[in-house]
Amino acid sequence: MNRFQGPHIVSTRVHHFDHDIGGRAYHIEVAQVGVNTWRAQVVTPYGGRSALMPFYDATPADAADRLAEWLARAHRHAASSESL
């Protein structure tokens, strides 16, 4: 018996979000990687992916927001460490 349930078509559409965090501009690219799964990654000015880990969520906006929130926390932590 074949366990394969048939093809799951996933959109190749990519969403782009721009955020200003900690005085720096971040370009976040979000792509669908599963039926209800979107992956957000920071993109370099040259279009390449950064080494930063991706963030996942059920919608493009939610995935981008999770990544942006993490970046904001990282910037706040770095700023508080510098003032010590």
pLDDT score at 49 = 78
What is the per-residue pLDDT across 3-34, written as a single tens digit (0 to 9) for each? 555 565 556 789 999 999 999 999 999 999 99
What is the per-residue pLDDT across 50-72, written as a single tens digit (0 to 9) for each? 777 899 999 999 999 999 999 99
pLDDT score at 1 = 46
Sketch the domain layout of the chain as residue ranges: 14-79
- pTM of the predicted protein model: 0.77
CA distance 40 to 53: 9
Q: Where are the beta strands (DSSP E) in 22-84?
A: 24-34, 37-43, 55-57
Tally of residues, the chain: 84
For residue 47, name the pLDDT band (cuts at 50, 70, 90): confident
Q: What angle do CA 75, 48, 15 make, to 5 degrees?
A: 80
